[in-house]
Amino acid sequence: QVQLVESGGGLVNPGGSLRLSCAASGFIFNDYYMTWIRQAPGKGLEWVSYINSRGGTIYYADSVKGRFTISRDNAQSSLYLQMDSLKADDTAVYYCARDVSYNYYVSGNYYNGHYMDVWGKGTTVTVSS
């Protein structure tokens, strides 16, 4: 069945680095865009980053821009998030999700939309000394 499994979380000192991985199975990985989303303890969902199917288009939330790097290996059906210069505020459960991209037409204009139809169970990142 369709499945996403994150790994690589753990405890890291402020200023340190961590690399998260997400292994995909049950679907054609290179047909889909992918997204990382995080959730701090007791808080809501926060989008982190997005990568298109070939890795040519990447976006980041302002909160992680310049510190995090998203990438993918379609041959390995894997998604990655390299996290550098980590801060206490980065403490969260990190989810990878399959991103469905589409175009829609409203009031004479075309727009691009995205939603996440499959989520992993998440991996926990704790930034603390």
How does 98-124 read in b/e, with b if 16+ C-beta sit within 10 Å? bbeeeeeeeeeeeeeeeebebebebbe
> Among residues 112 and 129, whose Cβ is nearest to other proteins?
112
Residue 121 is a binding residue for other proteins (CB under 8 A)? yes
Distance CA 8, CA 80 (A): 10
Distance CA 84, CA 53 (A): 24
Residue 111 is a binding residue for other proteins (CB under 8 A)? yes
> Among residues 3 and 13, whose Cβ is nearest to other proteins?
3
Residue span binding other proteins (CB under 8 A) among the ranges 11-19, 21-29, 75-83, 101-109: 101-109
Residue 117 is a binding residue for other proteins (CB under 8 A)? yes
Sites for other proteins among residues 29-68 (CB under 8 A): 35, 37, 44-47, 50, 59, 61-62
Q: Is 122 helix (H, G, I), strand (E, B) or coil?
A: coil
